[in-house]
Structure 1
Amino acid sequence: MASSDSNNLPTKVLCGVTVPDTPLIDKALEFAKGVSTGYTYNHIVRSFLLGFIIADKLPHTKDRDREAHAIAAILHDTGFPIGHPPHNDVLSDDKRFEVDGANAARNFLKREAKAEEWDKHRLQLVWDAIALHTIGSVVFEKEPEVQSCSYGIWADFQGPDRVSGGVLTWDEYNAIVREYPRLGLMKGLKDNMLHLCKVKPGTTYDNTVGEWGDRYLSADEYNRKPNLTQNLLETCDLDERDPNV
């Protein structure tokens, strides 16, 4: 399915926002709800809706694959560890939560979507949108679908005042929050980040998750300094072994 085809999908209006209405999106919402806490699920839906408000107003994202954007937004936090049932097969022991979410979304699409409609490129768009959504210096240089997903996610955390260009108003934002309240999202985010620092520290050293551990955990509980990229490179200086140096 080309991006132009996805602009002709059935639609519905949710909290005043026109979004695509397909069985696959409904299944994604059901899947996400099954592995999420209340605050995570509401954040997912708000991110979905906010992303559509913003992306539909920006010229470089208006003509995007709207179904791929929706699926990525809805499944972007399925890698959060808190809220999953025991032994949930979404979560790995050795991958970042963003990668767990991206892999879960790709597996969901391979399982639930029509193969003839979801080629490698569409699958990759969804995977990239989820895997990169916390890396602002990269994600906003990617394809419109990938950017659009992160516009909504970042707007939910930062609010309308930090969305450039005035493309998200407080009235639009508040209408969504009234229907899908925050339910202590920031405390839930902190709990998830600290849980990852404790149970999967190796996945947190080179990304923003580790910043939570740096601030809120003792050095006995969490210490990423020996594992920072600079330290790893300097303690394995191959130039010193070069006989020509």
Structure 2
Amino acid sequence: MDPYRDLPLPRTPLALEAIRFARSVEDVSIFNHSMRTYLYGRLLGEQRGLRPGHDYDDELLFLGCVLHDLGLSEPGDGEQRFDLDGADLAADWLTRRGLAPEKVEVVWDAIALHLVHDIACRKRPEIALVTIGAGYDLGLAGPALPAEYTGRVDAALPRLHAAAVLRDAIVAQATAKPHKAPPFSLPGELVRQVTGRSWPTWRDMTNGADWDGYAGHRTGGTAPPA
């Protein structure tokens, strides 16, 4: 029996295989968030006049959504930030299933950019709506959607403390591999909030080993002559 039969999901062979893959490797809370990302992203797109199958490739949008947090799974835990690890794993998985390279690139971009809202939202709908849907599902921003729709979505895909589970997964990866949460990135900020870790300042990071680029500089003014 299809537990999502009442939800407006694409049911192409590749979309169904992506559901099975994501569900098999992700925590159920993260998987449900990824599915809701599509359902809310698509509806928010429709409210902006974007028609699935006409203004954008609905299957590509779905693939970007359902695979966008693969970097928080065990097979996706590589040596980069989780968004990049997830994009690489998704691209490899889709390539091995014969998806055209130009379509794989769209999905890679959607996943790799999903934490960079201002940039992603200026890209094509298959990319922008992943970011918009993911943010909406976590309560970051967006208009009210029909209660009947959100209730139906949440009943089929329970929330299960998604925001907290995502935070804990990101911090757990970075605890084991600190380079996965560089300073000033979202993973880095979550690590700072949870652990109290301090980051180097801009000056610390931009002073070279053999020079002091701030010597003699007056903030708001011009440095005195050498």
TM-score range, shorter chain: 0.7 to 0.9
| TM-score when normalising by structure 2 | 0.82
What displacement does 1:158 show?
0.8
Instruction: Point out where structure 2 has 5 or more consecutive residues left out of the alignment.
Output: 215-225
In 1, Cα distance between the equivalents of 2:97 and 2:56? 22
What displacement does 1:192 show?
1.1
Residue 230 to residue 67, structure 1, CA distance change in 2 (3 Å): farther
- Give per-residue Cα distances to partners, 1:10-44, cap 9 Å, x unaligned: xx9x5754332100001111110111011111111
What displacement does 1:234 show?
3.5
What displacement does 1:229 show?
5.3
Q: Which residue of 2 aligns with 1:200?
A: 177
Aligned pair partner of 1:130 in 98, 111, 131: 111
After the TM superposition, which residues 170-209 of structure 1 pair with which residues of structure 2 at under 5 Å, given as runs? Answer: 170-204=147-181, 205-209=183-187
Alignment root-mean-square deviation, CA: 2.7
The 8 Å contact of residues 36 and 78 in structure 1, kept in 2 or not, is answered as yes
Q: Which residue of 2 aligns with 1:147?
A: 128
What displacement does 1:230 show?
5.3
In 1, Cα distance between the equivalents of 2:6 and 2:21? 24
Q: Which residue of 2 aligns with 1:8?
A: none
- Give per-residue Cα distances to partners, 1:134-165, cap 9 Å, x unaligned: 11121111111101111211111017xx314x
The 8 Å contact of residues 140 and 147 in structure 1, kept in 2 or not, is answered as yes
Within the alignment, does 1:157 sit opposite 2:135 as a pair? no
The 8 Å contact of residues 77 and 173 in structure 2, kept in 1 or not, is answered as no
- Give per-residue Cα distances to partners, 1:176-195, cap 9 Å, x unaligned: 00111111212212211221
The 8 Å contact of residues 207 and 213 in structure 2, kept in 1 or not, is answered as no
Q: Which residue of 1 aligns with 2:77?
A: 91
In 2, Cα distance between the equivalents of 1:57 and 1:207? 31
What displacement does 1:73 show?
0.3
Aligned pair partner of 1:105 in 73, 76, 90: 90
Instruction: Point out where structure 1 has 5 or more consecutive residues left out of the alignment.
Output: 1-11
In 2, Cα distance between the equivalents of 1:212 and 1:20? 33
Secondary structure of the structure 2 residue equivalent to 1:178? helix
Residue 238 to residue 69, structure 1, CA distance change in 2 (3 Å): farther
| Bigger Rg, structure 1 or 2 | 2
What displacement does 1:119 show?
3.4
In 2, Cα distance between the equivalents of 1:151 and 1:189? 17
Identity of aligned residues (%): 25
The 8 Å contact of residues 79 and 99 in structure 1, kept in 2 or not, is answered as yes
The 8 Å contact of residues 60 and 107 in structure 2, kept in 1 or not, is answered as yes
